[in-house]
Amino acid sequence: MYLVIDIGNTAQKLAVYDEAGRQVALVRQPELDVCTLEDIFGQYNLRAALLSSVGKVNPDVVAWLERNTRLVNFSPALRLPIRLNYDTVGTLGTDRVAGAVGANALFPACPALAIQAGTCLVTDFVDEQGTYQGGSIAPGLCMRFQALHDHTAHLPLLDPQHPDSYTGKSTQESILSGVIYGMACEIDGIIGHYQALYPNIHIILTGGDADFLKDYIKNRIFAAPNLVLEGLYKILKCNVE
């Protein structure tokens, strides 16, 4: 079995996959700790682990993994099941690469656009030849609420809530409408751009805010909450076999 760990900016997740590629365990925490690893390793016979990080990693977790398994630290320099056509590969987020790999695995030989709605709103495009062509990075949902509060004198800081109407009748309702409908329209606009260029493209929505946003998006999407973890598993297999 195989362990993959995704250290994000907001949440940290680990997943266990069996030899057939089925996910058999999933843990999500604010910060992974050694006790969690000991519990997982006590339940499963794990051949290797892949660690991907765009956030802060607990050094005790890394040290424990290095002592107890074959640990692969993910970077774009690893062997990948897709090709990268990107000018600054050294700065390319590992979560973006993993999302692209996951999208390509779901829809091989087809163009695919992975949309990660998390701390940032990130899009990553893979063409039908399996080549990653890049994408976009924009502020995520909570970051937009925070920016309105931080860069004005009087606007309140709100948590994501479903707006009652497109036309806000109060300051709070206006902020909710502007942030949520605005982000949904942005996503629909991006999807429309790619669909005009690639009519057979598949759109995959993932990330911590994907479930909240999915009903506001007009275009047809494929929801894949664990897309990055699936991509990490494919990359791990590619490097240990």
Catalytic-residue membership of 95:
yes
Q: Are 133 and 155 within 8 A, CB to CB?
A: no
Catalytic residue, candidates 18, 60, 95, 150: 95
Select from 12, 45, 18, 8 the least CA-distant residue to 236.
18
Spatial separation of the C-alpha atoms in residues 239 and 241, rounded to whole Å: 6
Residues in CB range of 56: below 8 A, 6 or more apart? 7, 31
For residue 116, give both structure tokens: 């990660």
For residue 121, give both structure tokens: 């709103």
- Distance set, CA 123 to CA 69, 139, 172, 177 (Å): 33, 12, 29, 23
Spatial separation of the C-alpha atoms in residues 187 and 98, rounded to whole Å: 20
Q: Are 106 and 222 within 8 A, CB to CB?
A: yes
Catalytic residues: 95
